[in-house]
Chains A and B, each alone.
Chain A
Amino acid sequence: MSRLEVEHLYKIFGRRPETAVRWLEEGADRAELRDSGTTAAVIDATFDVREGEIFVVMGLSGSGKSTLLRTLNGLLEPTSGRVLFDGHDLTALGPRELRRVRSHGISMVFQHFALFPHRSVLENAAYGLEVQGVDRAERERRATEALELTGLAGWEKSWPDELSGGMQQRVGLARALATDADLLLMDESFSALDPLIRRDMQDQLLELQKRLKKTIVFITHDLNEAMRLGDRIAVMRDGRIVQIGTAEEILLRPANDYVASFVQDVDRSRVLTAGAVMEKCAGDADSSGRSVTMDTPIADLCALSADSDEPIAVRSDEGKLKGLIPQQTLLAALAGEVTHA
């Protein structure tokens, strides 16, 4: 079931945005508009985000992904199109109702953390609850819980500038979680962190997501991050969404040359799974041999494959044989030559 649906969404900056939308619908392209002093940041975006999934929007800077994110909670008003949150059209709401949705239903995590420097860690985490009007004792209790979830127990009385970047972003995450909003918008939230910390944070987000089952829209320009986190990924280029799919789908069947060249540098062995590269076969082959599950990354198969010349069996969670991976197939997959599956 989708929590969030976006239909034919446009966001145009500059003069006469409505005219620009008409031109775009008639097939004008972005460069022509730019000449007339109008910037089309998001063009005809349509997608839906399902309950409990991490939906990643991936694109280079200037591709319109941050603008798209800000139309999802009404920080920016779309020029045309609709944003449906739990079936309600956000674009039709007045400022007051929109603020209510933001404080209760959608929360946001920022690239540079955006912690309030004049508030303690606890007060920062409790900010959203304060806006909701929750009384002090209750909001401090819930903010403390949120801080515990993100691994910051004991830091409540500190100030944001006393924390490292990773810890600051944990406060940002705790602030977003404390409101109990179901939809989390994360705007390049880990981009400002150094690589090791970024990896930690990604792991922790996945860990939290297993427990909390939030619906998350995650913006990033880092394809590896997108592949790691995203249940589904939307690739954006020049304001348009060029492909939506799972990591494997994008890797294995790029929609165009742009996406293909983009995914070239991805560590395929961590994205592709045994299920995606196996030679399908049914039946009851040797059940005593080495076997892996469908979602095992192929990086984990290499060691097994090196031990013996026998193909590796791929089994479903119930132990049913689904396919085989001979050495050649594995090597071909690593070399980027997988086309079936």
Chain B
Amino acid sequence: MPRLPLGDWVDSGVTYLRDHCAWLFDLITTVVSGMYDGLDAVLRAPEPLLLAGIFAVLALWLRGLTAGILTFAGFALIDSVQQWTAAMDTLSLVLVATVITIVLAVPLGIWSARNRTVGAVLRPVLDFMQTMPAFVYLIPGIFFFGVGQVPGIIATIVFAMPPGVRMTELGIRQVDGELVEAAEAFGTSPRNTLLRVQLPLALPTIMAGINQVIMLALSMVVISGMVGGGGLGSSVFTAISQVNVGLGFEGGISVVILAMYLDRVTGSLGSRVSPLGRRALAAANSLRGARVWTYRPHTAVAMVGVVVLAVVAGGMNVFGPSSTGTAVAAGKNVGHGRTVNLGYIPWDEGTASTYLWKEILEQRGFAPKVTQYDVGALYTGMSTGKVDFETDAWLPTTQKSYWETYKSRLDDYGSWYDRTSLELTVPSYVKGIDSLADLKGKSKEFGGRIIGIEPGAGMMKMLNDTVLKKYGLDGEYQVTTGSTASMLAQLDRSIKAKQPVVVTLWSPHWAYSKYSLKKLKDPLGAWGQGDGVHSLARKGFASDEPQVAKWLKDFKLDEKQLTSLEAAIQDAGQNHEQDGVRAWLKTQPGLVDKLAPIAA
């Protein structure tokens, strides 16, 4: 078979679209991110417990007392595991994506119910949307919409739309043909037939579709955390990349609570809004009589409750203390509130240096925004200008492929930490193996496996293409691919069981302080010279913010500083990185002025 260059065509198509339809994508980005920012601001503004109260009143109205109490308890739990802000971000993402999806899906469903051709054309398109693995369009989404919430929301819409369209179509088709004929026979116009007969009768099915849309949106929004979507997705993503089981569970349970709440509330909303559902509800109530556990307030009562809580929440924001920020010392306000976007990959040195710069920039009067990304997403983000700079680029070796792809759009501000190294590592209880050469002939001991990381990592390419060949290990060992998290989990498991294991690792890495490990020597120099940790910025950042660019170019940390900073951040805990940075800076008097000097 000749090789069909399908991928190339898609590639050039994507490039063409990016270059020629930029205005369209910018428009979409503006609208969607505007919706998101607005809703997120509203949801984040009130005291968590008050908002939890509002959610609880809604649940009480729709489902009764049990649901109300459980709702409050659930959201209180989210708050107490410090996932509140992330959960509100996720809720905003889900709601924005759902609203846009419904606005598109319901008319499409109606159209395809009334027109067989449309239905027939739409069906394969919907199949495509639903089954195409989300990552396939999540990453190209960054080309069009930049990193951040928008590509995540767009991917979510694409993924969640099919059930909305299908259930709307099904609901309308299910309406008894004789009823539609009856409406027509009495002279009803097509529009009114739709509004007065078909839609009301299809509503339960449509609501079931919307419920599906919300559930799918929630699952997709978590995945979009990997491209800087933020919210609980980022919490979970961070947790798994740090093998932090506890944090992963806290993020995960928050997702579950949100999912259950949204599912139950939209499920009941279906029976509240549809005339048939209202009837069934009334009948059930009159049978059961009034009991405390099934008590549901009337709509008016519930709305009064929501409004009262909302007013209290608003009042507290007006009169309460404004949030405490970092004080900007007089005469050091260089930034005057200008926004700088920092991106980072949740690796320890990346987190540490990024939050250090966030603190420094705040002290200099900037308004830095920090967002977490996957490596590929971070590079794409900088190349499209959505991210201003990052401080965790391993060059010239590890991230070579990314740098080669994007270097025309990026500036390298030089390395601030030298020098990293890549290696294969074994636990120190593995005797007799000290160098890569010693691995030869020992594959039985290790089950013939070298535990690798993400298949796309530069390090994996080097290992397979160079290192194994140089030491003649390529026939003997199989390199398993997975993720950094799975590699670390396997390392942890083997160490607990005192089994021999060989993993791909790099320095600096916290694993070296947590476990007793042995880096295998590389007498042939197969791993190359090692990398520096570089700061990269988008092209043009240096002319927009010359002062910040200058600071970054002069940025240096030594190993002692970096490890103590990482330790301080580790002590402060998840979501309190900046507190860790502040505590650490107290032990480094004058460092801020040294790293970010004010021109006299």
Contact = CB atoms under 8 A, between A and B. Distances in A.
Q: How large is the interface on A (under 10, 10 to 19, 20 to 34, 35 or more residues)?
A: 20 to 34
Contacts of B276: 117-118
Given A116-B197, A117-B276, A118-B200, A99 B178 contact: no
B187 interface: yes
A157 B181 CA distance: 24
A103 B184 CA distance: 9
B192 A131 contact: yes
Contact of B188 (A107, A110, A131, A179): A131
A241 interface: no
B576 interface: no
B513 interface: no
A102 B178 contact: no
B189 interface: yes
Interface in A85-140: 99-104, 107-108, 110-112, 114, 116-119, 127-128, 131-132
Contacts, number: 58
Given A118-B200, A118-B201, A128 B178 contact: no
A103 B179 contact: no
A47 interface: no
B201 A102 contact: no
Contacts of B176: 114
A128 B186 contact: yes
Contacts of B181: 75, 110, 114
Given A110-B178, A116-B179, A116-B197, A73 B279 contact: no
A119 B201 CA distance: 10
A107 B182 contact: no
Contact of A108 (B179, B186, B201): B186
Contact of A107 (B185, B189, B200, B275): B185
Interface string B177-210: 0110110111111001000010011000000000
A73 B185 contact: yes
A75 B192 CA distance: 16
B185 A99 contact: no
A159 B279 contact: yes
B546 to A, nearest CB: 67
Contacts of A114: 176, 178-179, 181-182
Contacts of B201: 116-118
Contact of A131 (B178, B179, B186, B275): B186
Nearest to A132: B187
B192 to A, nearest CB: 7
Contacts of A103: 186-188
A206 B188 CA distance: 29
Contacts of A117: 201, 276
A107 B178 contact: no
Q: How large is the interface on B (under 10, 10 to 19, 20 to 34, 35 or more residues)?
A: 10 to 19
B185 A75 contact: yes
A112 B185 CA distance: 14
Contacts of B187: 99-104, 128, 131-132
B185 A102 contact: yes
A73 B188 CA distance: 13
Contacts of B182: 108, 110, 114, 116
Contacts of B279: 118, 159
A99 B200 contact: no
Residue of B176, B181, B182, B201 with most chain A CB atoms under a 10 A cut-off: B182
A118 to B, nearest CB: 4
A99 B188 contact: yes
A75 B276 CA distance: 28
A100 B179 CA distance: 19
Given A116-B197, A118-B275, A159-B279, A127 B185 contact: no
Q: Is the interface of B mostly helix, strand, loop or mixed?
A: helix
Nearest to B182: A114
Nearest to A107: B186
Given A114-B176, A116-B179, A118-B275, A102 B184 contact: yes
A111 to B, nearest CB: 8
A119 B182 CA distance: 14
A119 B186 CA distance: 15
A100 B189 CA distance: 10
Interface in B255-287: 274-276, 279
Contacts of A104: 187
Contacts of B188: 99, 103, 131
B197 A102 contact: no
A184 to B, nearest CB: 11
A114 B193 CA distance: 14
Nearest to A103: B187
A110 B182 CA distance: 8
Contacts of A112: 178
A156 B275 CA distance: 17
A131 B189 CA distance: 9
Interface in A42-86: 73, 75
B179 A102 contact: no
Contact of A102 (B186, B274, B275): B186
A111 B179 CA distance: 11
Interface in B408-460: none
A148 to B, nearest CB: 20
A216 to B, nearest CB: 15
Nearest to A117: B276
Nearest to A108: B185
B270 to A, nearest CB: 14
A100 B187 CA distance: 6
A101 B187 CA distance: 7
A158 to B, nearest CB: 11
A75 B189 CA distance: 12
B49 to A, nearest CB: 40
B384 to A, nearest CB: 50
Contacts of B179: 114, 116
Contacts of A159: 279
A255 B201 CA distance: 48
A75 to B, nearest CB: 6
A127 B178 contact: no
Nearest to A105: B187
A127 B186 contact: yes
A9 to B, nearest CB: 18
Contacts of A128: 186-187
Contacts of A100: 187
Contacts of A107: 185-186
29 contacts: A75-B181, A75-B184, A75-B185, A99-B187, A99-B189, A100-B187, A102-B184, A102-B185, A102-B186, A102-B187, A103-B188, A104-B187, A107-B185, A108-B185, A110-B185, A114-B179, A114-B181, A117-B201, A117-B276, A118-B201, A118-B274, A118-B276, A127-B186, A128-B186, A128-B187, A131-B186, A131-B187, A131-B188, A132-B187
Given A114-B179, A114-B182, A131-B188, 7 more contacts: A73-B185, A101-B187, A103-B188, A108-B185, A114-B181, A175-B186, A185-B185
5 nearest CB pairs, A to B:
A103-B187, A114-B182, A102-B187, A118-B275, A108-B185
Interface of B: 176, 178-179, 181-182, 184-189, 192, 197, 200-201, 274-276, 279
